[in-house]
Amino acid sequence: MTIRPALKSGITIHRNESRNEVRIGSRWRQYSLPLQWCGVGTQALLGLLDGKFTFSELATTTGLESSAIESFVSELRSHDFVDLHRTPVAYLRRYNPELGRIEEVSDLDQVASDVAIETALKRIEIECDAATFTPGDIDGGRTSLLNRRSFQIVIFGHGKIVNALVGVLSASGFSKLSVINRVGTKDSSLKILESDIAGGYVTRSHFGQTRRIIVDEIRNHSLLFVEPKTQVHNPDLIISIGTPSPDSVQRWMAENTRHLLVDIPSSAEVRIGPLVTPGKSPCFRCVQLCEETGWQREQTLETNSALALTVAGAIALDVIALSDRKISAYHSTSHIHTVRDYTAPQIQHWSQHHACGCAWEG
């Protein structure tokens, strides 16, 4: 693969003569470079990093040795300021008027004069730009975004947080997403309730409509990649909103499926985490054994609108980190978000309990 280095989107350059340096980075994350790099103006050299030139072409243009160009790009790469190649983004099938047939789109950048694709590409680039500064990223966040298309998620539960999660995860590029609400055939939560309104997609006009249909609408209207819904059989992650049933927990543990526990003890409090990796980290039972049983609730309550959206956003960011970088803030950890102290979540750390079977298996 031919390497053509390019500065990442959102990078700015400021020359500071008084300090004999060039500042490069974003508004709140900057790094200093010397005014000259091996005798060539640093700012001029940065201006050549536009994805059009190879290392050898840059060396010829600047008169520098290839090793000097490579060291310069390596320095920028160590701070995640430069991309080394462009990853094509495939899209849905479309009608090609020039050929008179429907065909696959293997690279959105190569399609010209198509308003629908241009609009889709703008949305995609926003998500890519947000992922581009992920440590180690070298293609403008595109690989991270494309990996989300195959990352499978199942959400258990219903209500404001679930509705918001479906929308924000779908809009963030997660196409393989299902929601399960295991209740009786006469349970009121099978329909949209007044408590579902949180300022998002669901409005008063949806009262009484079938929840499954409305949740599917949220997904379809929010999808970054327009793809048909598929059944999720082997999820990479389960998100449990509310107290999970013992049968569900047992099945997730037996199937070795990672699951994020989200507890809602009151309308003003939500606890996110821990993220359970069966056999390797504290599980639902470990948390129960560590807590005072008198404070545990079997019933899942609904939270207020602002807190619901805050929690959904926090979970979505962590799911993105898990998909993109294989990390999670909730590994053996919980964050308690409250209306009272909304600026400072309380952090809890967990360990496998000696009386829990998961510790014996680990």
| Mean pLDDT, contiguous 10-residue spans, the chain (362 residues) | 88 84 91 93 94 93 93 95 89 66 69 73 91 92 93 96 96 95 81 91 93 95 87 94 93 95 94 95 93 64 92 97 96 96 95 84 48
Q: What is the pLDDT of residue 118?
A: 79
Look up residue 35 and give its DSSP letter: S
Q: What are phi and psi of 24, to 5 degrees?
A: -130, 145
Q: For residue 223, give both structure tokens.
A: 């999808």
The domains located in the chain, with CATH, are 6-83 (3.90.930), 91-145 (no CATH), 149-361 (3.40.50.720)
Q: What is the pLDDT of residue 294?
A: 56
CA angle 324, 314, 276 (to 5 degrees): 70
Q: What is the pLDDT of residue 94?
A: 67
Q: What is the pLDDT of residue 257?
A: 96
Distance of CA 318 to the CA centre of its chain: 6
Residues paired with 270 in a beta bridge? 337
Residues paired with 241 in a beta bridge? 262
Q: What is the pLDDT of residue 301?
A: 76
